[in-house]
């Protein structure tokens, strides 16, 4: 059976592990710096297996060696934000953690597809690319799946329909400048513009942009993890099963959409090889200008990253 390694067994990492277990397609190892912590999660998940029906091996470890030969590595290790903080405020701490993790991924799991999750997401994905030396296809940032699932849920809630019947795509960086593409959103095949008025669509787009912050302001001591964990697991499944899913993900751009040398959320084809294709959508001038604004925010983060040396 394939192996999925999850770096960081905290809220997002453990939730991702639980969701991956339920897919029943890969053994799981969680690595965390806290002694005993990932081991406790692993045993707890195994106790649930008679109830939840999975038959995979689940282990916890404090040494990176445990990720040996993983096909997919989900990098969640890092601090979450608290009220009043921006995701970029996490940069310095989480870059150091990501550098160490990425070097170990390169050492122990050199063939892996890496799904970056820790924030600031588009910057942590860049660190994973630089420090592993992997081809760009094998580094994918998880943000668009989460942001889109939030947008889908808000639309479904408003229309009182099955959330799975709502399709929507959120592009751009994983921050408040992200770009919910309402023009491409649909419900059961109908464009949402046929079902909702402009004011409502704007309201739902705005709530999507600040969806993470809304949870931080309620939770106070951390950030969202159920939907983020499920989103990372969905990406892992696409890779493990070679599903060829079209999903939004943070991908390294070399000219696509006019951007160079940054990770940004765009529609991709996700399969065994990681990001097997990047789709370039036709954007209206308004959409392109919103995406430019989002790319600028990511570029600011990359400058900060470069200044760390
Ligand atoms: N991309 C996205 O859409 C999302 C990203 N996040 C980000 O994910 C990260 C994790 O969030 P949570 O799980 O809620 O935090 P958490 O604090 O619950 O878990 C983080 C874990 O990382 C571990 N850790 C720290 N340094 C480590 C190292 N060097 N090696 C291995 N493990 C290490 C900690 O011991 C802790 O258990 C945060 O940066 C958060 O902002 C959270 C939600 C969504
Ligand atoms: O809001 C945060 O800091 C965590 C996150 O990225 C999200 O939930 O979208």
Above 90 in pLDDT, residue 261?
yes
Mean pLDDT over residues 204-209, rounded? 98
Q: What percent of the chain has pLDDT over 90?
A: 99
Question: Residue 251 burial (CB < 10 Å; 0-12/13-18/19+)?
Answer: buried
**Complete domains list, the chain, with CATH:** 2-143 (3.40.50.720), 144-307 (3.90.110.10)
Please state, in angstroms and rounded to a whole number, the distance separating the CA atoms of residues 271 and 238.
6
Q: Is the ipTM of this complex over 0.90?
A: yes
Q: Kindly give the distance from the C-alpha atom of residue 37 to the centroid of ligand 1, in angstroms, as a whole number.
A: 13
pLDDT band at 165 (very low <50, low <70, confident <90, very high): very high
What integer best gives the mean pLDDT of the chain?
Answer: 98
Distance set, CA 139 to CA 160, 170, 269, 274, 279 (Å):
36, 19, 13, 7, 16
Give the pLDDT score at 292.
98
Above 90 in pLDDT, residue 184?
yes
Give the pLDDT score at 232.
99
Please state, in angstroms and rounded to a whole number, the distance separating the CA atoms of residues 60 and 27.
11
Render pLDDT for 213-247 as a digit per residue (tens, 0 to 9): 999 999 999 999 999 999 999 999 999 999 999 99
User: Closest ligand 1 atom to the C-alpha of 100?
Assistant: 29
Above 90 in pLDDT, residue 106?
yes
Mean pLDDT over residues 150-174, rounded? 98
Render pLDDT for 126-156 as a digit per residue (tens, 0 to 9): 999 999 999 999 999 999 999 999 999 999 9
Per the annotation, does 176 bind a ligand? no
Render pLDDT for 49-99 as a digit per residue (tens, 0 to 9): 999 999 999 999 999 999 999 999 999 999 999 999 999 999 999 999 999
Give the pLDDT score at 6.
99
User: Closest ligand 2 atom to the C-alpha of 150?
Assistant: 9
Mutational pocket test of ligand 2: of 116, 216, 220, the residue with most ligand atoms within 8 Å of the beta carbon: 216
User: Closest ligand 2 atom to the C-alpha of 227?
Assistant: 8
Query: Which residues, including other chains, have CB under 8 Å from residue 118's CB and lie 6 or more apart?
Result: 8, 75, 76, 77, 78, 90, 94, 97, 98, 124
Q: What percent of the chain has pLDDT over 70?
A: 100
Is 47 assigned a catalytic role?
no
Q: pTM of whole model > 0.95?
A: yes
Residue 3 phi/psi, 5° resolution? -125, 135
Please state, in angstroms and rounded to a whole number, the distance separating the CA atoms of residues 14 and 42.
9
Above 90 in pLDDT, residue 162?
yes
Q: Kindly give the distance from the C-alpha atom of residue 224 to the centroid of ligand 2, in angstroms, as a whole number.
A: 6
For atom 2 of ligand 2, the residue with the nearest CA is 212
Per the annotation, does 206 bind a ligand? no
pLDDT band at 309 (very low <50, low <70, confident <90, very high): confident
Under 8 Å between Cβ of 2 and 240: yes
Q: Which of 47, 75, 174, 260 is catalytic?
A: 174
Give the pLDDT score at 50.
98
Give the pLDDT score at 277.
98
Please state, in angstroms and rounded to a whole number, the distance separating the CA atoms of residues 293 and 178.
9
């Amino acid at each position: 059976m394939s192996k999925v390694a999850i770096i960081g067994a905290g809220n997002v990492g453990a939730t991702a592990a639980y969701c991956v277990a339920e897919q029943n397609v890969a053994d799981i190892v969680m690595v965390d710096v806290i002694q005993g912590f990932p081991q406790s999660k692993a045993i707890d998940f195994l106790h649930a297996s008679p109830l939840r029906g999975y038959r995979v091996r689940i282990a916890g470890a404090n040494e990176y060696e445990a990720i040996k030969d993983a096909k997919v590595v989900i990098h969640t290790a890092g601090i979450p934000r608290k009220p009043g903080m921006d995701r970029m405020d996490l940069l310095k701490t989480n870059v150091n953690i990501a550098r160490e993790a990425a070097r170990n991924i390169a050492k122990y799991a050199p063939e892996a597809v890496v799904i970056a999750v820790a924030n600031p997401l588009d910057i942590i994905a860049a660190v994973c690319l630089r420090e592993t030396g992997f081809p760009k296809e094998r580094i994918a940032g998880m943000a668009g799946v989460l942001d889109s699932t939030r947008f889908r849920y808000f639309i479904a809630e408003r229309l009182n329909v099955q959330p799975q019947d709502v399709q929507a795509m959120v592009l751009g960086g994983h921050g408040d400048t992200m770009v919910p593409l309402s023009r491409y959103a649909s419900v059961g095949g109908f464009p949402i513009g046929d079902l909702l008025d402009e004011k409502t669509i704007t309201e739902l787009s705005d709530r999507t942009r600040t969806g993470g912050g809304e949870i931080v302001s309620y939770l106070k001591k951390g950030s969202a993890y159920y939907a983020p964990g499920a989103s990372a697991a969905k990406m892992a499944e696409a890779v493990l099963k070679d599903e060829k899913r079209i999903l939004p993900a943070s991908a390294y751009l070399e000219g696509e959409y006019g951007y160079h040398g940054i990770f940004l959320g765009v529609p991709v084809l996700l399969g065994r090889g990681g990001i097997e294709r990047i789709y370039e959508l036709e954007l209206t001038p308004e959409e392109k200008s919103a995406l430019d604004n989002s790319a600028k925010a990511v570029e600011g983060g990359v400058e900060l990253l470069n200044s760390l040396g």
